Amino acid sequence: MTGQNLDEFRKRLKDYEKGSRRRFPRVRPLPGMPMASSGGRRRRFSIPWTWMIVVVALGFAMKAFIVLRIGEDQYRGRLAAYSDPGISESIGVFVMQPDPLTLTLRDVARSLIKPPR
């Protein structure tokens, strides 16, 4: 090792030893050398908006097809059958009530699906 490389090596070794005492060592990678970590940066939490929208859309589609299959009156009757629901059942009944979007999706699906003969 030449003098400049030896000085740089000793400086990096000192940084490594100082950082190893802490929980996250602060070691800079050598130029051109890959590092296994992301340089000490933590990955930011991101909300998967696309998948949340897909799940909500599938929920509305499921409600629309249930209302299409059994009829709106019978569907409302089954929801009204819960006489004394607990907190989770009351949330479920509230979420599963037919809303204008569900009824619109039902009408669209009815126009697209031919009834069996």
Contacts of 68 (CB under 8 A, 6+ apart): 106, 109, 110, 113
Q: Report residue 6 CA to chain centroid gap.
A: 49
CA distance 78 to 72: 10
Contacts of 8 (CB under 8 A, 6+ apart): none
Sequence ranges of the domains in the chain: 1-45, 49-112
Q: Report residue 59 CA to chain centroid gap.
A: 15
Mean pLDDT by runs of 10 across the 117 residues of the chain is 80 74 56 60 81 95 93 91 87 91 93 78
User: How far are the Cα atoms of 27, 36, 40 from residue 23, in angstroms, in the given order?
Assistant: 12, 16, 11
Please tell me the predicted confidence (pLDDT) of residue 27: 58
Q: Which DSSP symbol is given to 24?
A: S
Please tell me the predicted confidence (pLDDT) of residue 99: 93
Q: What is the pTM of this model?
A: 0.57
CB 28 within 8 A of CB 12: yes
Residue recorded with tokens 């003969």: 117
Contacts of 82 (CB under 8 A, 6+ apart): 89, 90, 93
